[in-house]
Amino acid sequence: MPLASAGRAERVAVAVAVTARLRSAAHLWILSFLACAACRNFDPPKDVSGVYASCCDGFGTCLPAAFVPTDQDLASQVGAEHCADALVCVPDALVQSGGLRSCTATAGGGEGRCLPTCLTALADQSSKLLQDDCPAHQVCAPCFEPLHGEPTGACSIGRDPGPVQPPSLFAACCGELGRCVPTPLVAAADRAQLMQASCEASELCAPAALVADAQLVPASCLTSVGAAEGRCLPACLPSVVRQAERLFQDGCPEEELCAPCFNPLDGSATGACRLGGDPGPARAAAMLQQCCGELGRCVPERVVSERDRAQLDRSECSAGDLCAPLPLLESEAFVPQSCRNTLLDAEGRCLPVCLPALAARSEPAALDCPAEHGCAPCFDPLDGSATGACALGADVGPREPAKVFAACCGDQGRCLPASRVRDDERAQLERAQCQSGELCAPLDFVADPNFVAKTCKTRSQGAEGRCLPGCLPALVARAGQLSRDDCPADQLCAPCFDPRDGKATGACQLGGDPGPATQPMLLDSCCDGLGLCVGRDEAPTTQRAELAADSCPAPRVCSPAEYVRDAAFVSQRCHDPTTQAEGRCLLTCLPRVRAQVDRLGVDSCRDVERCVPCYDPVSGESTGACMLTPADTGPSEPKRVFESCCPASSGPSFGLCIPHALVPEGAPTLPRLTCPDADSVCAPRVFAAQAGDAGASLPECSSPNTNRGACVPTCMIDASQRGLVMQGNCAAETECVPCMALGSSTGACQ
């Protein structure tokens, strides 16, 4: 899509000037050799040998003007400059025979006559006429003017009977706008400006209108580029043909296009408005607006080839215009310089870095490209699709297959060289899924380094955040604490600031993000400053059942600060002082710990903590204390459970051997039965299950005389209590022992 340069427009002018000279030559033939009946009556003396001097290099004789008829223009056609005064130079062919030798005057076989080149009529035109088989110093003048077929008079001189063949006209070319002119009739310097088109190998196609009238003034018009002044010129002119795709008729006749008077790139005259009798342009030069610094020009979209439009910028130009690189406008043969894009050592082209579709992926510092140019890859490294960078102008396209970045983070990311990632972004990206020296960057940020992630709000506080892929390391570590809000699938709402300490997370500073628009929002404290208020569903699933509101506003719950601030936190390991079972140090404000605070040991824990065993010593089931945080791998020691005692005929035993220290104060003295440890007591399961709980008690019962009692396992009633047993409503293998006997407590209802 090259625009007309000054050099090309000048060549247009030269080409038209050439055809004007051809027209002048044809007109001269008509004036030079008049075909009139009187010419045939020319009767020179028969014997001139030794009487009259020769002329015309020996091909003519100086005769008195009286021998030349005065009632015709023959005297003006023969030469006088070679003879003395009152004598004229007459060709010997006329002197000797009264006729001229026939010859072939045109490449198409047009009839002609041999005439000496020294004749006044031929002096300026002899170099443009064919010699055919004429003698030396003679050329073949055509009988008919080859443009319209009018007689030239060359074949009606003296006793010449006239032409015997019909006129041989120049063949039409370029539709009807041109004529095939013999190449010898065109000056050597001008031949390159004309096309052969449909003409013979020895001919060139010249515009017919300007051949016919050298003073013709082409019609004025407005060009398609910048609405500048122009002239209607035949579309078959080579320099017009080269611009045809961006030149328009604008009121010009059919098969003509509007060529600009001035080069719109630099304002130089093209010569298109100085042809024939044209007085020149009436308006000053109008140059195209610069863009992309000085590397481009704004041109109408319609003059840009359809395949190139998507590659060009619009932002700096007026509506409907595109910013096209200058070399692309100067020559339709322009091919951008090849280069190597360093991202993947991929094939690319050197293009101005301001081209929007290419700037994001170009190499501004590419050593093999000119200043202010980058190496744009032929293929998109994200998906292997063609970028269009290697299809601009006359580029034949890429020579190498596409190279693409490896996928990572499912398909949400691409592995980039770490050197291509900003220093402040590297800590946010994953390394594990990529090769050494690469980082897994979110796809959106790879496609556009200035990409800005979607804004969102965290669920617990409504704090400002950004929607980011859940595979980013910082998000993976806190995945259980983050919500999606209205983010796309597989993305989470990452807060701009860490709600735990107010520090920037970096989530709102990736790509072209201008940064957060709000101030940090810190989590409320709870548990006397030892906890932080979080959304229940933001806590790991292993913790949710263990957390309570404490002093947090609904619907948030109080989580130990260590759990919130450090996803890798593991509670301190401890051992229950009574059972020596493995446990974890947990805050006393946790509901589970608060309920057992009086019977849980401290061991190595802080004063605000208690050692909660990993397993329930009664059931052997996990308490969850050793798996509250995701980083806790669980207990490392085998579980410790109370031994059974006071067996039942079916089902679990009635009692468990619990340390004496866990028996509630004031509880009845219970038999040791089969407990192996001297410090252990066989206690009903209700006391074991709620060890240390003063509220633990046996099922109640009553006797017919309304005495209140408790159902005690038969195996736990000693001999001193046998006489107190009442008939009651106790289950099998248990008996109703009154609460009071002889005014004293039996301990059964304790």
If one counts every other C-beta atom within 10 angstroms of the C-beta of residue 436, the result is 6
Of 111, 215, 103, the C-alpha closest to 169 is: 111
Q: What's residue 36's pLDDT?
A: 32
Q: What's the rounded Cα separation, in Å, for the pair 77 and 89?
A: 10
* Lowest-pLDDT choice from 41-55, 205-219, 254-268: 41-55
State mean pLDDT over 11-27. 37
**Cβ–Cβ < 8 Å for 376, 348:** yes
- Helix, coil or strand: residue 97: coil
Element holding 492 (H helix, E strand) = strand 491-495
Q: Which residues pair with 504 in a beta bridge?
A: 497
pLDDT of 682 > 70? The answer is yes
Domain ranges for the chain = 19-172, 290-377, 590-686, 700-745
CA 685 to chain centre: 73
Q: What's the rounded Cα separation, in Å, for the pair 203 and 22?
A: 13
- The rounded radius of gyration (Å) of the Cα atoms in the chain is 55
Pairing of strands 296-300, 290-291: antiparallel
Q: Which residues of 448-480 are buried (b: 16+ CB within 10 A; e: fewer)?
A: ebebebebbbbbbbebbbbbbbbbbebbeebee
pLDDT tens for each residue of 206-247: 777 766 676 778 888 888 677 788 888 887 776 676 666 667
pLDDT tens for each residue of 627-667: 999 899 999 999 988 888 888 888 888 888 888 777 766 55
Question: What is each CA distance from 291 to 20, 78, 296, in whole angstroms?
Answer: 41, 65, 5
Amino acid, res. 748: A
Q: What's the rounded Cα separation, in Å, for the pair 711 and 734?
A: 6
Q: What's the rounded Cα separation, in Å, for the pair 609 and 511?
A: 45
Q: What's residue 71's pLDDT?
A: 40
* Lowest-pLDDT choice from 125-134, 212-221, 270-279, 683-692: 683-692
Q: Angle CA(267)–CA(269)–CA(275) in degrees, nearest 5?
A: 155
If one counts every other C-beta atom within 10 angstroms of the C-beta of residue 495, the result is 26
pLDDT of 191 > 80? The answer is no
